[in-house]
Amino acid sequence: MKYLIPILTAALLLSACANTKNTTYFQDISDSLQRHSQQVAVTGYTDPVIRPNDLLQISVQTIDPNATSSMGAQSTSTFNVQGSSAAAGSNQAIQGYMVDKDGFVELPLVGKLKLGGLSTEAAREVIKKKAAVYYKDPVVNVRLANFYVSVLGEVTRPSQYIIPNEKASILDAIALAGDLTIYGRRDNVLLIREEEGHKTATRFDLRSATLYENPYFYLRQGDVLYVEANKAKVAASDARMLRTVAIMTSVASLLVAVIYRLN
């Protein structure tokens, strides 16, 4: 028994040694690209679709310096109107634009607009058309202020992250989380997305450049990434358990020997 536990512990530690084949990204890209680069196909990007309860950040810029004086106060979103010749400090920021359950957003002067179900690009055009009635040559920008993703599992910093750039990929989210730990499975990263009231799941293999072709490569608001632990993590946990058992066994044996000698 005294030889069995060290042997099992050594076997588990050896099996837990990292294998570069399992930890290296993009293994199918040649490592001898000295004169010619290698092209990799990338899936197309589409603007995110606005959904109920999204928080929109909307800005309207106009060359009319008097436009800001006609704006009323709001308390539920951000709506910036700026005149190109206005003095510094005269811009007025009005807080808040939450998309209601029916997909509508109400803006000062522009009124109530149905933006739910539209891409952010299409929403810009809708707002621009309405704003042109009141402002001269308006320039409209729309983005999701609460574009977030959750990264869980074997990463350095698992958390929920707000991403300022809507064109964010699975690699961007992993980078925000500090990359995978040595125990994370790079061949089986799970992404869960809500689409039309249903949860959709897909898996990525970070070891292959084909992940760029995956239609889920670019993230959407509310996506969840989960990185599964590999066998090395399980083996390391078992090794720690065996070391604990070995220590407890040694202590118990010592106590038995002491008690035997005392008797």
What would the pLDDT profile of 166-198 be if each residue is shown by its tens digit?
899 999 999 999 999 999 999 999 999 998 788
pLDDT of 163 strictly over 80: yes
184 SS3 class: strand
User: Minimal CA–CA distance to 60: which of 89, 84, 87, 90?
Assistant: 84
What is the spatial distance between Cα 101 and Cα 225, in angstroms, rounded to a whole number? 26
CA-to-CA dists, residue 124 to 53, 86, 147, 167, 242, angstroms: 18, 23, 17, 17, 61
User: 14-28, 87-101, 122-136, 150-164 — which one is most confidently predicted on average?
Assistant: 150-164
Q: Are 228 and 184 in contact (CB under 8 A)?
A: yes
Tokens representing 93?
């920021």
- At position 93, the amino acid (one-letter code) is A
For the entire predicted model, the pTM comes to 0.67
Range in 19-28, 49-58, 198-207 the model is least confident about: 19-28
CA-to-CA dists, residue 86 to 63, 64, 83, 92, 107, angstroms: 9, 9, 5, 11, 22
User: 9-13, 78-82, 147-151 — which one is most confidently predicted on average?
Assistant: 147-151
What is the spatial distance between Cα 147 and Cα 190, in angstroms, rounded to a whole number? 19
pLDDT of 13 strictly over 60: no
Question: Phi/psi zone of residue 195: left (φ > 0), alpha (ψ -120 to 50 degrees), beta?
Answer: beta
pLDDT of 5 strictly over 80: no
Q: H-helix or E-strand containing 77?
A: strand 75-83
What does the DSSP 8-state code read for residue 134?
T
What is the spatial distance between Cα 161 and Cα 177, in angstroms, rounded to a whole number? 8
Residues in a beta bridge with 151: 159, 225
